[in-house]
Every structure is written in structure tokens, then in C-alpha cells.
Amino acid sequence: MPLPDIDKIISAIQSVIRPKNEGPVALHEPCFNGNEWKYIKACLDSTWVSYVGKYVDRFEEMIADYTGVRKVVVVVNGTAALQIALKVVGVKAGDEVLIPALTFVATANAVAHCGAIPHFVDSEEKTLGIAPLKLKEYLKEIARPDTSGCKNKKTGNRIKAIIPMHTFGHPVDLDPLLEISREYKLEMIEDAAESLGSFYKGKHTGNWGKLSILSFNGNKTITTGGGGAIITNDEVLGKLAKHLTTTAKIPHRWEYRHDHIGYNYRLPNINAALGCAQMEQLPGFLAKKRALAARYKQAFAGVAGVRFFREPPHAKSNYWLNALLLDEASLARRNQLLEKTNDAGIMTRPAWVLLNKLAMFQDCPCMDLSGAEDLEARLINIPSSAVLGE
């Protein structure tokens, strides 16, 4: 197996992103070429800058229209969205929630915020997401579904939910995971934080989970500065999510009365104004990002020891973060490439450190993670801003 030629990898990246750009090239940066200033000024002029305002409602409607879901609740960030989604489906303290070890820490943090326990599962190279067949074999060994749900035979805890995450915007294989959820009586919540604009078998991600979440952080395909959303086709659960994120206040002309322990998580109107302008440009962003991915694919076609990761056969990806996979699983070689690309003014980064290795999660249950460990040692993200696809 040939070792990757680091100089050729750098040249391949530079052939795609230069000479248009001078100075360091960011991994992913936002683009503000639409009505952002206009809408934000209108929001300021109206003085409606908090979570009540026309842009909040409009932003939710735009997301619902684009993704095809029935209900959208915009909130302050994706972690808050996931925490509330878990609470709404009934995850309680002491429950276990199946999540990939190869994901951003926010996925596990949201589980922990509920007092629940992350239970780490393996990923596959085909999608970079949860490996369904391997997970099914694992659950046959350790899980016992019954009338009350699903019990972990080793820990005695209830396994309540599963969170597939669409890594770098590439849709995980959802149908077999949905079958596993039904067989083992698990609630499925899609972590679609990175996959706005990605489609699984012709339908937008977020339509398979009982609830799903999006993120609009500054580095996402569209941004509201900070922000996220809960999306669902269950209008009852969507209504409850909105109520809980609005301090669980009972509507009244002047009285402050609350019926649950609520959360002040609603997205402010001024952020939603930015989101509306970004949503108007989403088709253009996606076209540019796919054009950038196509150029990367061509540039790396003849580079030995590495390959450009392409969307799975069942999917149309937003290519949020483009990724390279080294042929050889070598942390030393990966780190050498990261050092040289960053020294050359090209921001690159590895995949996340597997969550089971972090101090706060190292005692959590986990299955064999050999697939995730292999990907951790081989993955490198390369510059992916939409503007690079122009």
C-alpha cells in the first residue's frame, strides 16, 4: 500500500483553491452576499430583537418548506436542540443513549445534560456514520427488548434512544437504523447538525427520526451566528418542544405562569433575520459546494495513498466539510500532513478524538470501535467554504 505523498496532496488542494485566494485559507467560513444587512437593520429598527418577532416565524417556515417537515422550533444552538429533543421523547436520568463514538462532543454533551449515559457505537467507512449491521449484531448480545422498552443486560440500564449523526453532511444509512429502532423499541433522533441540504433516498435528512436537529453555527452551511433547530413531523411533540424552550410559559396577556421546568432556549429575532437571508441563498451555497467537491474529486484522482471521500450511493450530500481518507491508518502520517498543510496556509483538521477517549466519557459503555478507530487515524478535513466553489 503506497504511502501518501504529502507534497502531491498539498499541490492537489492548491490546484483547487488557488490562485483565487491570498493568505491562509480557512476550513469553512460564512458568506454574506444577500439580504443580511437589510433584514438585520429592519429587525433593529423594529426593536423586536429577542425571541418574539416576524423573522423567527419566517425562519421556521423557510426551514419547514425546504426540509419537508411539519414543525420547526428554532433555538439558540444545536446542543440545546438535541437536549430538548431527548427530553421530549422521554429520555431520563440513568437511561443509555446509543451514539457514534465518531461525532462532535455536543452529541454526548446533550445526552449528559439530560442525566443520561452515552453508549458509544461503531462507524463504517461507507457513510462515516453508524455501522448498522455491526450494531445489530452487538444489540443481539447485550440488549433485551420487552414490554417496557429495551434493557442493557450488562448494565441493567434502559437503552432509550439512538442518535445517528450525518458526518460532515453525508447521510448515514437510515433505513436499517430505523428497523433496529423498531426492533429494540428505541426512539431515533437524527443529529442532522451538519446536513442541511443533504438528502437520503430523495428526502431531506431529519425526516426519519421522531425528532431531529440542525445547527446554524458560524461554520455551518448557513449560519445565524449561533443557533439550531428541532425539526419533526410529529406536531404534538413539536408543540411541546416549543413550549419547553420558551420557559414553559402559559400564554396570557399579562400573567407569568409556567407549567414545566422550562428552558430559555428560543432563537432571538435578530439571529433569525440573519437566518432568513442565508436560507434565501442556500441553493446557491449548495451548488458551489458540490462544484468544489467535484473539483477535489478530479484533483485527487491520480494521487496515490489518499482518496477524496464521496457521498454514499443512497445520498445526495451537501458536502459541508470535504474529507480525505488516507489509505493507511497512521496517526503519525496523518499528523505530518496536518502540520505541513497548515504550515502552507491551508487549514486542515483531523476528525474528532473518539468520545470514549475523553476523560468525562471514558467509563461509558461502548461496543468494539475498530471501525471508528480506523477512521480517526485516516480522516482529514480540507477547506470547504462555499466561496471556494465559485
Q: What does the pLDDT read at residue 331?
A: 85
CB 173 within 8 A of CB 126: yes
296: helix, strand or coil: helix
Phi, psi (deg, nearest 5) at residue 227: 160, 165
* Integer Cα distance of 192 and 205 in angstroms: 7
Percent of the chain with pLDDT over 70: 98
DSSP 53: S
Per-residue pLDDT, averaged over 37-50, amounts to: 95
Per-residue pLDDT, averaged over 319-335, amounts to: 92
Q: What does the pLDDT read at residue 148?
A: 84
Q: Is 157 exposed, middle or buried (0-12, 13-18, 19+ CB in 10 A)?
A: middle
* Integer Cα distance of 86 and 108 in angstroms: 11
Q: What does the pLDDT read at residue 23?
A: 75
* Integer Cα distance of 199 and 207 in angstroms: 10
Cis peptide bond upstream of 19, omega within 30: yes
Percent of the chain with pLDDT over 90: 92
CA proximity to 263, closest of 105, 114, 61 = 114
Has residue 21 got a pLDDT over 80?
no
Per-residue pLDDT, averaged over 73-84, amounts to: 98
CA proximity to 90, closest of 204, 250, 234, 251 = 234
**pLDDT band (50, 70, 90) for residue 2:** low
pLDDT digits (tens, 9 = 90+) for 255-298: 999 999 999 999 999 999 999 999 999 999 999 999 999 999 99
Residue with the three cell numbers 416549543: 242
**pLDDT band (50, 70, 90) for residue 19:** low
- Torsion from C-alpha of 263, 265, 268, 274, nearest 10 degrees: -170
Domains delineated in the chain: 6-32+282-353+378-389 (3.90.1150.10), 36-279 (3.40.640.10)
pLDDT digits (tens, 9 = 90+) for 98-112: 999 999 999 999 999
